[in-house]
Amino acid sequence: MKTINKKTVKTISCDQAIKLVFSYIDDEIRGTHRAELEHHLETCRHCFDRVAFEKLLKSRLRRLNVGGSSKRLRQRIDTLLEQF
């Protein structure tokens, strides 16, 4: 695997990081975007917690087998998180 030099990794904002979180959890991002997000997570506790939460949630939902029909639930959780 190619190592990406941390110094060349662009600093991204929390807004940009959050947009990448779902793809990251689904293992859909590679290379630069992944490095940018991981770099952000190393420096941002808030987004790190968000990823940890989403991962937990995803594994719970998968266990409950509600994946596809959970869009409304998802929105409720997002609303809750914004108030968090």
> What's the rounded Cα separation, in Å, for the pair 33 and 50?
17
CB-facing half-sphere around the CA of 62: CA atoms within 13 A: 7
Q: Which residues bind Zn ion (CB under 5 A)?
A: 14, 17, 44, 46-47
Q: Which is nearer to Zn ion, 26 or 49 (CB)?
A: 49
Q: Which is nearer to Zn ion, 42 or 60 (CB)?
A: 42
Q: How far is the CB of 43 from Zn ion (least distance, A)?
A: 8
Q: Which two tokens stand for residue 56?
A: 């937990």
Closer residue to Zn ion in complex, CB, 20/47? 47
- Single-letter residue type at 48: F
